[in-house]
Amino acid sequence: MTEISSSDETPPSADKDAAPDDAIAEKAAQENVLVQPMRDTHFDFQHKVFSLPGAFFCQDPNSKDAVLNILLGDLKVALAFPTLMESFQIEEGCHDARLLEVIEQGLAFVKQIRPGEEIPGELLDGRASWSVEDRHRITAKGRLTMQIVSSFTGNEIIVSDQSQLEQLLDDPQTHEKMKAAFAKIAERLKLTNNAEQYLTDRIDDLAQELSYIEALRDRFRHIRRIDQAIGKLATIYRTDRTFCSELNRMQGLIRKPVREYDMIFDQADAQTGDIVGALRNFHPTVQFIRKIRDDLRAKLLEWEDLLRGWDDISMERSPKVEALQKQTYRFLASRYIETTVWKRGG
């Protein structure tokens, strides 16, 4: 499945400038592509239009509607789904039409989908269609371990440093404390047979689910860094009153999503606040964590182009900085500006 950082392709914004439908249809008919057996887990389309060179699905950058992008000679064409279905006689309810509905859902989790690729795991069995780094797994396992030890020893342990977490996880004293905590948990859950191994496996499973939350938390910190960068630019551009005025408005706007995301991460952390309850209701807990993961992932996709821009920018006066500032201002204003509706009294 296509990852966030895997492509910088910019799709055309509308299909109104596309070549005539009959030319596209003729090109599709000329393609001699072997049709592979269809699989329930993949986007195996039947119509040959989906086999045209460079075919991929994405959201239109303006309307956010799903579109099919194809190459017709040197021309890039973006077809909205209603136009696509009408032009190529794809009937409602048929195999390809149902797959197009899945495409629309799948684009909430990935930026691009190509025909033949696997359907995002989020839509199949709940697993994530993207991967995390080992450091996120270590952080999730470390947080969970310290939470369990703290809850049964009465001494709260807060560790944020990665190397310290690794040391604590390898510390024999931590293992002894976890063993004692497992015994108490097993007693409360009325586990008898092979309780320690069962709980070890369950904790590992929870840590794996939470590692995606840690990866998202790590990336969302970059949104807070944009806020910090805006503050630095206010100093650099302090003699430009118009520019600084826009920066001040941007800082007010960006604080709204930062607060919103902090609350969502607090919700995720609260799922394991009562570790016994989380283990007793393991599957509902996992489902809720995955829902938060998917919601955050969809939100992050909207930010990703901006985040990459700010990650690579140098904090100095430049046309590049000013262009990124304007792009960021438009992004924030279109999503987070508060409006007041005035009504005449009756």
| C-alpha pair distances (Å), 230 with each of 95, 249, 316, 317, 335 | 49, 10, 12, 13, 18
Instruction: Please report which confidence band the pLDDT of residue 19 belongs to, taking 50, 70 and 90 as the band edges.
Output: very low
CB-based burial, 17-33: b 16+ in 10 Å, e otherwise: ebeebeebeebbeeeee
**Strand ranges in the chain using DSSP code E only, listed in sequence order:** 56-59, 66-72, 75-80
What is the per-residue pLDDT for 54?
86
What is the per-residue pLDDT for 37?
46
pTM: predicted TM-score of the whole model, two decimal places = 0.78
CA separation for the pair 283, 230 (Å, rounded): 42
Instruction: Please report which confidence band the pLDDT of residue 25 belongs to, taking 50, 70 and 90 as the band edges.
Output: low
For the stretch 140-189, pLDDT in tens is 998 899 888 887 776 666 565 677 777 878 888 888 989 999 999 999 99
What is the per-residue pLDDT for 11?
46
- DSSP assignment of 287-338 equals HHHHHHHHHHHHHHHHHHHHHHHHHH--SSS-HHHHHHHHHHHHHHHHHH--
Percent of the chain with pLDDT over 90: 65
94 burial via Cβ count (<10 Å: 0-12, 13-18, 19+): middle
Mean pLDDT of the chain: 85
Instruction: Please report which confidence band the pLDDT of residue 99 belongs to, taking 50, 70 and 90 as the band edges.
Output: very high
Please enumerate in sequence order all residues whose Cβ is within 8 A of that of 3, keeping only pairs 6 or more positions apart, or say none.
Answer: 110, 130
What is the per-residue pLDDT for 340?
53
Which one is predicted more confidently, 339 or 318? Answer: 318
Query: Tokens 């600084």, residue?
Result: 244
Instruction: Please report which confidence band the pLDDT of residue 286 belongs to, taking 50, 70 and 90 as the band edges.
Output: very high
Q: For residue 1, what are the β-bridge partners?
A: none
What is the per-residue pLDDT for 190?
93
Element (H, E) at 48: none
Which one is predicted more confidently, 3 or 306? Answer: 306
Instruction: Please report which confidence band the pLDDT of residue 46 belongs to, taking 50, 70 and 90 as the band edges.
Output: very high
Diameter of the chain measured on Cα atoms = 74
For the stretch 308-330, pLDDT in tens is 999 999 999 999 999 999 999 99
Instruction: Please report which confidence band the pLDDT of residue 274 belongs to, taking 50, 70 and 90 as the band edges.
Output: confident
- Among the residue ranges 26-30, 102-106, 263-267, the one predicted with the least confidence is 26-30
Q: Mean pLDDT over residues 221-233, rounded?
A: 95
Q: Mean pLDDT over residues 187-196, rounded?
A: 90
Answer yes or no: are the C-beta atoms of 82 and 93 closer than 8 Å. no
